[in-house]
Structure 1
Amino acid sequence: MKTTVNLYQPELRPKLRLLSLQFMLLSWFSAILLCVLVYSFLLNTHNQSSAVLADLVQKQQRNDSLLRELRNDLSNLTVNPNLLENINRQQKNINFKKRILLEVQGHEKLMSHAFSDLMLDLAANHKHQLWLTRIHVDDNHVIIEGSSESSKTIPQWLGSLSNSNFFKGQEFAETRLYRGTDGILNFVLSSGKDTDLKELTENE
């Protein structure tokens, strides 16, 4: 008569499973394929990096060569003294012409302003029996020519003209009166420095 019960049945015991040849081959093939893929990726990356590096090295060499050429050209560069002298001469001529232009423009503005003042004063002191035939204005002279029907009108006109803005404080350097063939009294007045009235009237 049995007194123990065996609960550890044979089917419950762990069984040793041996690896099959097919499983081993599949595992080795997978490992080799993975290694090949990784190696291909790394090789491709290395080749691309090498190509980029070679291109950068080539560009750097070209830049170094160009820099050496530029330095050589700069060291061999010399200033032509004749060209430099010509440039300086041309610059002086340009500056001189600019000064002349500024002086001429300033002179024209001054003459235009003076002539305007003269015309305003002559218009403000107009006499009915007196008329003007010629007015000349330059840097040093003012020449006024005219005619009058009465000899008394000219002194009166000169008196009022001497008080005008343009002629105030000035004196007529020369005055010439003469009658024409028609009996009209003609006059020539000159105001300025070292006036040669005959020469000025003949040159006009």
Structure 2
Amino acid sequence: MKQRVNLYLPEYRPQLELMSLGTVVTLFVVLLLIVIGVRIGLTLQGSVDQKRLVSLQDNINQKQSLANELTQALKDRNEDPQLLAVFAGLQDTLQDKQRLKEALEDRENLKSTSFSLMLQELAQQHQDDLWLTRISITEDSMIFDGQALQPESVPQWVSRLGGTQYFSGKQFDQARVFRQERALLFTLSTSRGNEAGGQQ
């Protein structure tokens, strides 16, 4: 029978060392330096952020203080009675001018409309034996001068005018009919204050 004798003892077997003492120390030192560096970086960043936060907070506080002052000043503001009186006077003046402008515009429109209507109705009431030589219209009066072939033509013509829209309700203050050489002249006049009804 054959037997084998192993003379290779376990203590002589090679052992695998993962890290030597020097490697462990080096790794520990490197890790320590990394931790210290990270710690310093975080501290510096925190300090910068803290300063920025403080600056923003101061800015907010200043603006809040200014807003409070302005709000208080607005609440405490008193209206100046002199300025209010001037403003009220200007408003009244502006309203008066506006009313005057509107009144003048209405008056101009009325005058333009009335004048054109009067001329139109005078043309419609034309008579062959009567004609006008002058028409004078002012703010206070209205005068018609003309000639007629027959004395009765004037009252007939005036009566026909009374049936028109413009002359309806109006009265002539004076009516003169007179002969000058061979012509029969007439003058009709009225003042605006004596006109009754109708347009002016």
Name the TM-score class by shorter chain: 0.7 to 0.9
TM-score for the superposition, normalised by structure 2: 0.75
Q: Which string of whole-angstrom CA distances, capped at 9 and with x for unpartnered residues, describes residues 35-91 of structure 1?
A: 133213312321231122111122123113323432453355322222222222222
For 1:151, the equivalent position in structure 2 comes to 150
For 1:93, the equivalent position in structure 2 comes to 93
**Secondary structure at the counterpart of residue 31 of structure 1:** helix
> By how many angstroms is 1:2 displaced?
4.7
For 2:104, the equivalent position in structure 1 comes to 104
Q: Quick one: higher RCO (CA 8 Å, sep 6+), 1 or 2?
A: 2
* In 2, Cα distance between equivalents of 1:103 and 1:127: 37
> By how many angstroms is 1:133 displaced?
0.6
> By how many angstroms is 1:113 displaced?
1.4
Distance 1:186 1:33, change over 3 A: farther
Q: Is the 8 A contact 1:173 1:191 kept in 2?
A: yes
* In 1, Cα distance between equivalents of 2:9 and 2:167: 151
* In 2, Cα distance between equivalents of 1:69 and 1:194: 67
Aligned residue pairs total: 192
* In 1, Cα distance between equivalents of 2:27 and 2:60: 49
* In 2, Cα distance between equivalents of 1:147 and 1:60: 92
* In 2, Cα distance between equivalents of 1:194 and 1:78: 53
Q: Is the 8 A contact 1:132 1:144 kept in 2?
A: no
Q: Is the 8 A contact 2:148 2:184 kept in 1?
A: yes
> By how many angstroms is 1:31 displaced?
0.3
Unmatched runs of 5 consecutive residues or more in structure 2: 196-200
Unmatched runs of 5 consecutive residues or more in structure 1: 197-204
For 1:127, the equivalent position in structure 2 comes to 127
TM-score for the superposition, normalised by structure 1: 0.73
Give me the identity figure in percent: 27
For 2:73, the equivalent position in structure 1 comes to 73
- When the two chains are superposed, the root-mean-square deviation of aligned CA atoms in Å is 3.4
* In 1, Cα distance between equivalents of 2:18 and 2:147: 151
Q: Is the 8 A contact 2:141 2:192 kept in 1?
A: no
* In 1, Cα distance between equivalents of 2:160 and 2:12: 152
